[in-house]
Amino acid sequence: MTIALLRLETVEDFRLRAEATLPAPVRDFVAGGSEAETTLAANRAALDRVTIVPRVLTGGSGPDPSATLAGTRSSLPLAVAPMAYQRLLHPEGELAMARAAAAAGVPFVISTLSSVTLDDLSTAGGEQWFQLYWLNDDQGTVELVRRAEDAGCRVLMVTVDVPIMGRRLRDIRNEFTLPSEVRAANVQSGARSSAHARSDGGSALIAHTNAEFHPALTWAHLEMLRSRTSLPIVVKGILDPADARRAAEIGAAGVVISNHGGRQLDGAPASVTMLPAAVDAVPGTCQVLVDSGIRSGTDILRALALGAEGVLIGRPMLWGLAAGGQAGAAGVLSVLDAELRAAMRLSGCTDVATARGLTATMGC
Ligand SMILES: Cc1cc2nc3c(=O)[nH]c(=O)nc-3n(C[C@H](O)[C@H](O)[C@H](O)COP(=O)(O)O)c2cc1C
């Protein structure tokens, strides 16, 4: 880690460092949620209400926080969440992020809207997964999945909570537009040009997403995908336990209980509040991950104690990237690692399995 990053002890430190340097529209694009940002705030409030009951006299060395996520070994029970257009935050964008994830031994999820090509990312090494936004063109979508497979991606994460993009008022007010040098590097030009065109009184990204993504996905699309790829499928963006069960029934290796970091339906519940019911709803063949609002190792332990097998880390990784490129992203992962190990020791856990056996309560 560089000297400039030595004093960054928490994710909040990284956020402050990042936000001091980012242009306001980019800062808002990362931090913002949809509409009144009620769900964005609810994610944090709900996590703060989760208490963990520590166990004592467990002896215990370690702890060992490693996990297997969708068949992939990870040094921590987390993966870097798929996030679009990371070259907005640092010139190396996803490449720096992928290298940081590889060095830390955690999976990196490549967004459909990655601003670095799949081929370039494959040079970073480590475990890479691909996140799919189903495009309006079914043929192009299947072709994109094949390219991700060829590039070495080991898991396909299908995001299902974006029939349209949520009304992100900060982006609308900023008339947010991508700079010309930041593009969706892995999709055809027709599917990305509108993200660069200023849309009067609106966000170019909302216009672009609403024009280019499939607006009416059904379970049949997932079943079709199941027959077209041998990769494990993880379905991201589920909140209702019945949907989690349905995903498991069609063979999903995992689900991510997620409200997209409060960026889609405002008024949706905090992800973590839906976690225990989802865990109860699915068979052991389907892993339950969670994201939205995770900001510390203690939050990761909270999620594990509520039954998750792992979490996705979203905005904190972008703040790390903005604060210091690869070293900044690595810095965030190392903070989370240190915090999680401390929380596991303090609660008497030796590994992820014992962490999942802790008693957690959701206070009011
Ligand atoms: C700037 C930004 C871009 C995102 N882009 C994507 C994306 O391309 N695909 C996707 O499935 N989710 C995307 N997400 C959602 C994240 O994967 C994740 O669900 C969310 O950030 C978790 O909430 P948190 O940031 O509060 O931890 C994005 C989130 C942010 C903040």
CB 24 within 8 A of CB 176: no
105-112: average pLDDT: 98
Per residue in 250-292, pLDDT tens?
A: 999 999 999 999 999 999 999 999 999 999 999 999 999 999 9
Strand partners, 360: 52
258 CB within 6 A, ligand 1: yes
Residue 36 has pLDDT above 70, yes or no: yes
Q: Ligand 1: which residue has its CA nearest to atom 5?
A: 83
113 CB within 6 A, ligand 1: yes
Report the alpha-carbon distance of residue 262 to residue 40 in Å, rounded. 4
Instruction: Say how many C-beta atoms besides its own lie within 10 A of residue 273's C-beta.
Output: 18
In the block, residue with structure tokens 């987390």: 78
298-318: average pLDDT: 98
241 burial type by CB count under 10 A (0-12 exposed, 13-18 middle, 19+ buried): buried
C-alpha 20 to ligand 1 mean position (Å) = 21
Helix (H) or strand (E) holding 358: none
Residue 6 has pLDDT above 70, yes or no: no
**Residue 4, pLDDT score:** 58
Q: Is the dihedral of CA 214, 30, 310, 102 positive or negative?
A: positive
**Residue 164, pLDDT score:** 94
Closest CA to 158 of 122, 98, 111: 111
**Residue 2, pLDDT score:** 55
CB 205 within 8 A of CB 165: yes
Residue 151 has pLDDT above 50, yes or no: yes
C-alpha 173 to ligand 1 mean position (Å) = 20
39-67: average pLDDT: 96
261 CB within 6 A, ligand 1: yes
**Residue 326, pLDDT score:** 98
Give me the chain's average pLDDT, please: 95
**Residue 3, pLDDT score:** 47
8 burial type by CB count under 10 A (0-12 exposed, 13-18 middle, 19+ buried): buried
**Residue 341, pLDDT score:** 98
**Residue 16, pLDDT score:** 97
Pocket test for ligand 1, best of 263, 275, 296, 336 (most atoms within 8 A of CB): 263
Residues involved in catalysis: 260
Q: Tell me how long the chain is.
A: 364
231's tokens: 């990769």
**Residue 243, pLDDT score:** 98
Going by pLDDT thresholds of 50, 70 and 90, the confidence category of residue 211 is confident
Q: What are the φ/ψ torsions at residue 281 (nearest 5 degrees)?
A: -80, -20
Largest alpha-carbon pair distance within the chain?
A: 63
183-196: average pLDDT: 74
Residue 172 has pLDDT above 80, yes or no: yes
**Residue 345, pLDDT score:** 97
Q: Ligand 1: which residue has its CA nearest to atom 1?
A: 30
Instruction: Give me the helices (H) in the chain, please.
Output: 11-21, 24-31, 38-49, 93-104, 118-122, 138-150, 169-174, 204-212, 219-228, 241-249, 271-281, 297-305, 315-346, 352-356
Closest CA to 157 of 137, 140, 134: 134
CB 68 within 8 A of CB 301: no
Strand partners, 362: 50
Closest CA to 83 of 188, 215, 234, 236: 236
Ligand 1, atom nearest to 161 Cα: 11
Instruction: Say how many C-beta atoms besides its own lie within 10 A of residue 137's C-beta.
Output: 16
DSSP-derived letter for residue 10 is S
306 CB within 6 A, ligand 1: no
Residue 320 has pLDDT above 50, yes or no: yes
Residue 1 has pLDDT above 70, yes or no: no
Q: What are the φ/ψ torsions at residue 237 (nearest 5 degrees)?
A: 110, 30
C-alpha 304 to ligand 1 mean position (Å) = 20
Report the alpha-carbon distance of residue 29 to residue 103 in Å, rounded. 27
286-304: average pLDDT: 98
20-29: average pLDDT: 98
C-alpha 59 to ligand 1 mean position (Å) = 38
Cis peptide leading into residue 63 (ω within 30°): yes
In the block, residue with structure tokens 């409060």: 262
Residue 92 has pLDDT above 50, yes or no: yes
CB 68 within 8 A of CB 74: yes
**Residue 343, pLDDT score:** 98
CB 287 within 8 A of CB 70: yes
315 CB within 6 A, ligand 1: yes
160 CB within 6 A, ligand 1: no
Residue 147 has pLDDT above 80, yes or no: yes
CB 142 within 8 A of CB 129: no
224-249: average pLDDT: 97
**Residue 202, pLDDT score:** 79
83 CB within 6 A, ligand 1: yes
CB 238 within 8 A of CB 258: yes
Closest CA to 85 of 112, 108, 121: 112
348's tokens: 């008497």
C-alpha 37 to ligand 1 mean position (Å) = 15
